[in-house]
A and B are shown apart, each in its own frame.
Chain A
Amino acid sequence: MNAIMQTIELPPKRVVPLLQRPGVQRIFYPALVGTVLISVWQGLVVGLELPAYLVPSPFLMLQTLITDWAMLGMALLSTLKVTLLAFVTATIVGVLISFLFVQSRRIETALFPYAVLLQVTPIVAVAPLVIIWIKNPTAAMTVCASLVALFPIISNTTLGLRSVDPDLQSYFKLNRATRWQQLLRLRVPSALPYFFGGLRISSGLSLIGAVVAEFVAGTGGSGAGLAYQILQAGFQLNIPRMFAALLLISLAGVALFALMAWLSKLALGSWHASETSHD
């Protein structure tokens, strides 16, 4: 077929210098800040001769991490297991509840207050009950952490599934799209940016939930997590180990967040404004 409108040519590609690439900048600048902060901390501890039972130096913390690695590594695995189980559970259950909510306003109106109730009740208050009800400590802690992580998934995904361009929806109706086609081709893609926003919040909350559940459950032995190690180290005034465990929790949280950011970029990077560079 002959072109009726004039053909438009593609623009040429541009080469960006290494240090100006957003990907390099995103690692370089935070790393610079981190190096400065750790140097200042080390300098202060050494300079002011602070005792290790008050504030250990970053170097001592690292040393403890290495010497106690057998114990701390196992604890990290245990905490991560609960965190990931809770995160996956919260995601699956949250998405299912959101799909239920968008089926009708009446269902959402009827059930939403209970989702809020779930969110506002402190997990520390509920956890002892859950731990009494569920015998298996891992399952009990997973349930507690899931309860904490559930709400952002529900609220974000529901909002996303409802945030459809009304004209685009009209277009689907004009072309006689079925309910199923509208869900798969329109609602689900429209909801993705909101869903990933929910995932980022929930990934952090699952870790917080897991740590809180460990504190409340207080389970020791072979399955002891990082929170238990912190409790024990506190009793023994082993402050460097406390710091080492704390460092591991923080690093686990950062890693989870980075994983979610990476997934989000993978899914939305090319098309959604939240993931495209602003310069």
Chain B
Amino acid sequence: MTFQNQSMATGLSAAPAVEMLSAEKTYSNGTRALLPVDLSIAEGEFVTLLGPSGCGKSTLLKMVAGLLEPTDGRLLVWRKPVAHIDEAGRKTAFVFQAPTLMPWASVEANVRLPLDLAGIPRNEADDRVADALSLVGLDKFASVLPRALSGGMQMRVSIARGLVTQPDLLLMDEPFGALDEITRHKLDADLLDLWRKKKLTVIFVTHSIHEAIFLSSRVIMMAARPGRVVEQFFIDEPYPRTDDFIVSTQFSRHAKLLQGSLLRASSAQRELQP
């Protein structure tokens, strides 16, 4: 069943991980990056933000991460303002579009970085780094420098660095956008496994309709100029999702709906242009 009504409740009984109450962002030069957004994301959800470029997907994600502050409205993560998440005893991890690794440091040292910054003792940190690396299949590359790895493997290191702090909320800003189709699909499938096994809440930014349907339980459609949320879709399909799901009729049905919505979101932006 697909809901298109934006005001409809999420229908999930779990506690909210992220709540946005008329949260909006206007840059100091007057650009309205994001009109007020009302959005609630429950714990354990896999939510995808989808839309044309300039629709404020990354802005929204960076606000949840605390990298940007809303100019108006409220943004709560685990019912606390973002600046006070530490009090909730939970952790957020952010994965960038590029691997964003330190080129001078080994894979191991890169993954250990968030633990080092938090002042966690070396022997405990080393154990957790080893666990995170084996989780992404890179245990044999611990002492290698990032430049010796392929783009896909560097992205795995970036994910391992995100997981090593044992986060509850994983924010991913088009993490696989620069990878080839096959590598991207492999990492998508691996990410879904991680999400289910670790009971994570994931907010994932992409501009690929297929990636959004394959991964998420809910897709938030956004439009540009000014950036805003226009529609949302529930991808009400069971997990685990396999390659069979991609060629199923349900998948095509979701794709058609999202395609239409994305076209509307893109044309809405053209009307606003002079």
Among residues of A, the one whose C-beta sits closest to the C-beta of B173 is A167
Chain B 173-208 interface residues, beta-carbon cutoff 8 Å to A: 190, 193-194, 197
Closest B residue to A7 using CB positions: B137
B153 within 8 A of A: yes
Residue in B67, B135, B141 whose CB lies within 8 Å of A173:
B67
Q: Which 4 A-B pairs have the closest CB atoms?
A: A5-B137, A167-B100, A5-B190, A7-B137
CB-CB under 8 A for A192 and B190, given A10-B141, A270-B145: no
B114: contacting residue among A167, A168, A175, A268, CB under 8 A = A175
Give 22 A-B contacts (CB < 8 Å), ordered by A residue: A1-B135, A5-B135, A5-B156, A5-B190, A8-B137, A8-B153, A167-B98, A168-B100, A170-B94, A171-B100, A174-B66, A174-B92, A175-B113, A185-B117, A189-B102, A189-B104, A268-B104, A271-B104, A271-B146, A271-B147, A272-B103, A272-B104
Residues of chain A with a CB closer than 8 A to B141's CB: 8, 10
B113 proximity list for chain A (CB < 8 A): 171, 175, 185
A171 to B118, CA, bound (A): 13
Using known A-B contacts A175-B113, A175-B118, A181-B117, determine if residue A8 contacts B140 with beta carbons closer than 8 Å.
Answer: yes
In the assembled complex, the Cα of A36 lies from the Cα of B36 at a distance in Å of: 76
**B167: min CB distance to chain A, Å:** 11
A1-B135, A5-B190, A8-B137 given; A176·B117 CB < 8 A:
yes
* B39 interfacial by beta-carbon distance below 8 Å: no
B37 at the interface (CB under 8 A from A): no
Residues of A within 8 A of B94 (CB): 170-171, 174
Assess A1 versus B131: contact at CB under 8 Å? Given A168-B100, A171-B100, A181-B117: yes
For chain A residues 159-183, which have a beta carbon within 8 Å of chain B?
165, 167-168, 170-177, 181
Beta-carbon contact of B140 and A10 below 8 Å? yes
New A-B contacts (14) at CB < 8 Å, excluding given A7-B134, A186-B102, A272-B104: A3-B139, A5-B137, A5-B193, A7-B137, A7-B138, A8-B138, A167-B96, A168-B100, A171-B113, A173-B67, A175-B113, A189-B104, A270-B145, A271-B146
The reply to whether the CB of A6 lies closer than 8 angstroms to some CB of chain B is: yes
Show the binding face of B for A, using Cβ within 8 Å: 65-67, 92, 94, 96-98, 100, 102-105, 113-114, 116-118, 131, 134-141, 145-147, 153, 156, 190, 193-194, 197
